Each structure stands twice: as C-alpha cells, then as structure tokens.
Amino acid sequence: MARIDFYILPDTTLEARLQFACKLAETIWRKGYRLHLHCEDKALAEQADAALWNFRPDAYLPHALEDSEMAASVPISLGWQQLPVPTEETALLNLHPDIPDGVEHYARIAEIINQHQQVLVAKRACWQRYKEMGHEVVPHKLG
C-alpha cells in the first residue's frame, strides 16, 4: 500500500497551492525521485508549468507537459490524462480533485489541501477513499 502525504495549507488561493506544489516538486526532485504532477485539466497543467518556471529565479526544475516530446526524458512531468506507469523512483503529486485511476502503482503520493471550500470537500473525500483502500494517510498541517 502507498503512503499518502496530505499537506494542509492555511491559504485559500490556487496560487498558494501551486507555489507549495513547486516547493514540494523541488524537494522530491532533489531527493532523486521522478515526479508526476497530475492536474484536473490542461489549463491547470499549464498554470503549474508556468509556476515551475517562475517560482524561484535561482532554481530550475526540469519538467514538461505530458503532450511534449520531452515528457519522457525529464524527471518532472505534468499531466491531465491517464497516469504514466511509474518506476520505483516515481512519486505522484495529485492536484486533481479526485483520485485518478492507477494510483495503486505509486508508492508515494502527495495531496495538497488549501482552505478553499471546493478543495476541502474534494480532498476530504479523497482522504476517506484512500483510507478505505488501505493506504497509510499522513497529515502535515503547515503554517
């Protein structure tokens, strides 16, 4: 079973959620993992892509959208369709409101909750579903 880390932010904005996703992506990448950021749709993936380019002027995180030719060759991919088949070193950062099909193939999964009502409702349902599936759910209250 996977370990699911829920990061609970005090903020309500999408920007704060994406900013934390960038910090988390950098941490995961620096630890030597591949990472897939799973988004609700292409628009959110493009926003996350822009956030990764701009989150720190002194950092570069090698990443690409799933429909890019580079997606398979960079350590961080951003997608909105079917999850890629992971290697042992691949983590999943789920920015989608639901749990995508295929999560059972990932050993480490991160979820980011902020205080926006829609996100809270969706991620509470994910929390319950992960527990019903038998996964280890670990909360991290931030700020």
Residue 12 has pLDDT above 90, yes or no: yes
Number of domains the chain contains = 1
Residues 93-137 have pLDDT tens digits of 999 999 999 999 998 999 999 999 999 999 999 999 999 999 999
CATH number at residue 67: 3.40.50.10110
Sequence-distant (≥ 6) Cβ neighbours of residue 117 within 8 angstroms: none
Residue 59: how many CB atoms within 10 A of its CB? 12
Distance CA 82, CA 25 (A): 20
Q: pTM of the predicted model, to two decimals? A: 0.94
pLDDT tens digits along 38-93: 999 999 999 999 999 998 888 789 999 999 999 889 999 999 999 998 988 899 99
CB atoms closer than 10 angstroms to residue 134: 9
The boundaries of the domain holding residue 35 are: 3-141
Residues 23-35 have pLDDT tens digits of: 999 999 999 999 9
**Dist. CA 6–CA 17, nearest whole Å:** 12
